């Protein structure tokens, strides 16, 4: 079996996979609240129990250097060699979480993807991947003439570039709130939606009824804002989600331009599937394609939403199998194919 992990600042999602006729087949998976454990090793041992994995790969937030990473949102340092020894798994790999998502795209079935814009599907070339969730992840998949090779980036931490007076005022508000520079992650992420809501309330003066203030204080603000916006039950929530989606589309278009992703833009992360109906209303695509002289390039770019929450796990499992097969000469995927 192959062990796959999606490690985040708030949760660790683990899964065991087998291969059936060349396709990934999940055996079981489980989510763990990361801050309740001393480290990844403890969580993995609890999850595996008596099961044995032949290879493992963990998608992690941030740049991996020589198989090693120090997490920014958890007091953990991960080292692939140490994990291999302590877990008794011969092949252990650490890759960027968006890189894992990139590898997962090839494993997805058609019903796990929603096409937001057909563009020109005959185009072959690079692909882009943008994923808003707890943070904002970005990656690119380089086309080598035969396949798409995922590469990570930290593009979500690039400077936020406002496009109009409303967004300029949002930038001023956030610069004061965070006492410094503002990245796209401060705007296009879970924290970003709440930041935009606070801006509309405190700077634009849009009314926040007492019942809404009580819900925002007692519940997850992002969930409340999203729920009420989609149900059209709150003006401030609707405007916050509108602004969020517009900026999300603009940054997705920026990424597509930077890597010339004529092969398509994929939108991953936990937020997109939850606001799919909003993404369909044209706000996202209007911002995505609003690129002046290069607008037609973006109009021709297919845009697809990843609906499968396990995409990063699937990519991590695929990567673990492929790399372990290169090193050992034994491929469970190939062995599972019946001729």
Q: How far apart are CA 169 and CA 112, in angstroms?
A: 38
Whether the pLDDT of residue 73 is over 90: the answer is no
Whether the pLDDT of residue 161 is over 80: the answer is yes
Whether the pLDDT of residue 284 is over 90: the answer is yes
Classify strands 127-132 and 136-143 as parallel, antiparallel or unpaired.
Answer: antiparallel
Model confidence band, residue 187 (pLDDT cutoffs 50, 70, 90): very high
What's 330's domain CATH number? 3.30.420.40
Residues 86-95 pLDDT 10s: 999 999 999 9
Shared domain check, 21 and 92:
yes
Q: How far apart are CA 40 and CA 311, in angstroms?
A: 20
CB atoms inside a 10 Å sphere around CB 159: 9
Model confidence band, residue 61 (pLDDT cutoffs 50, 70, 90): confident
Shared domain check, 130 and 58:
no
Shared domain check, 97 and 238:
no
Rounded mean pLDDT, 161-171: 98
Whether the Cβ atoms of residue 262 and residue 126 lie closer than 8 Å to each other: yes
What pLDDT score does 33 carry? Answer: 94
Range of the domain at 139: 109-307
With 0-12 / 13-18 / 19 or more C-beta atoms within 10 angstroms meaning exposed / middle / buried, residue 57 is buried
Whether the pLDDT of residue 9 is over 80: the answer is no
With 0-12 / 13-18 / 19 or more C-beta atoms within 10 angstroms meaning exposed / middle / buried, residue 31 is middle
**Mean pLDDT taken over the chain:** 95
Shared domain check, 156 and 35:
no
User: Is the whole-model pTM more than 0.85?
Assistant: yes
Residues in the chain: 339
Total domain count, the chain:
2
Shared domain check, 231 and 162:
yes
> Which residues are CB-neighbours of 337 under 8 A, at least 6 positions away?
21, 22
Rounded mean pLDDT, 219-233: 96
Q: How far apart are CA 299 and CA 261, in angstroms?
A: 12
Model confidence band, residue 196 (pLDDT cutoffs 50, 70, 90): very high
Shared domain check, 219 and 170:
yes
Whether the pLDDT of residue 339 is over 80: the answer is no
Closest CA to 187 of 63, 281, 200, 213: 200
> Which residues are CB-neighbours of 236 under 8 A, at least 6 positions away?
197, 200, 201, 206, 207, 208, 212
Shared domain check, 95 and 19:
yes
Shared domain check, 82 and 9:
yes
Model confidence band, residue 330 (pLDDT cutoffs 50, 70, 90): confident
Rounded mean pLDDT, 279-289: 97
Shared domain check, 175 and 35:
no
What tokens does 40 get?
């990844």
CA distances in angstroms from 82 to 41, 70, 91, 225, 234, listed in the order given: 9, 14, 11, 42, 51
Model confidence band, residue 8 (pLDDT cutoffs 50, 70, 90): confident
Rounded mean pLDDT, 156-169: 97
What pLDDT score does 16 carry? Answer: 97
What tokens does 105 get?
């795209």
Shared domain check, 117 and 65:
no
What's 299's domain CATH number? 3.40.367.20
Burial of 87-111, coded b for 16+ CB within 10 Å and e otherwise, reads: bebebbbbbbbbbbbbbbbebbeee
Shared domain check, 123 and 138:
yes
């Amino acid at each position: 079996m192959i062990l796959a992990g999606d490690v985040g600042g708030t949760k660790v999602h683990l899964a065991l996979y087998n291969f059936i006729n060349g396709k990934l087949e999940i055996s079981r998976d489980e989510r763990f609240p990361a801050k309740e454990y001393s480290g990844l090793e403890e969580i993995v041992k609890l999850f595996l129990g008596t099961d044995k994995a032949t290879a493992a790969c963990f998608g992690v937030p941030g740049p991996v250097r020589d198989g090693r990473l120090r997490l920014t949102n958890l007091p953990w340092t991960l080292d692939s060699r140490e994990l291999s020894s302590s877990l008794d798994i011969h092949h252990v790999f650490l890759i960027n979480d968006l890189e894992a998502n990139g590898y997962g795209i090839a494993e997805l079935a058609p019903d796990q993807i929603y096409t937001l814009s057909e563009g020109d599907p005959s185009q072959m070339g690079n692909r882009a991947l943008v994923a808003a969730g707890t943070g904002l992840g970005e990656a690119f998949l380089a086309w080598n003439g035969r396949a798409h090779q995922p590469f990570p980036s930290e593009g979500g931490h690039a400077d936020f570039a406002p496009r109009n007076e409303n967004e300029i005022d949002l930038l001023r508000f956030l610069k004061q709130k965070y006492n410094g520079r503002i990245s796209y992650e401060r705007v296009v992420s879970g924290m970003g939606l709440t930041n935009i809501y606070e801006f509309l309330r405190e700077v634009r003066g849009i009314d926040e009824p007492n019942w809404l203030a009580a819900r925002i204080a007692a519940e997850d603000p992002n969930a409340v804002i999203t729920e009420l916006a989609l149900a059209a039950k709150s003006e401030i929530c609707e405007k916050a989600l509108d602004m969020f989606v517009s900026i999300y589309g603009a940054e997705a278009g920026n990424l597509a331009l930077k890597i010339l992703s004529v092969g398509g833009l994929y939108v991953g992360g936990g937020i997109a599937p939850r606001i799919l109906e909003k993404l369909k209303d044209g706000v996202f695509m209007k911002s995505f394609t609003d690129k002046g002289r290069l607008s037609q390039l973006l109009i021709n770019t297919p845009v697809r939403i990843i609906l499968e929450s396990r995409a990063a796990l699937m990519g991590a499992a695929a990567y673990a199998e492929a790399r372990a097969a290169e090193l050992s000469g034994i491929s469970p995927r190939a062995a599972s194919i019946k001729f």
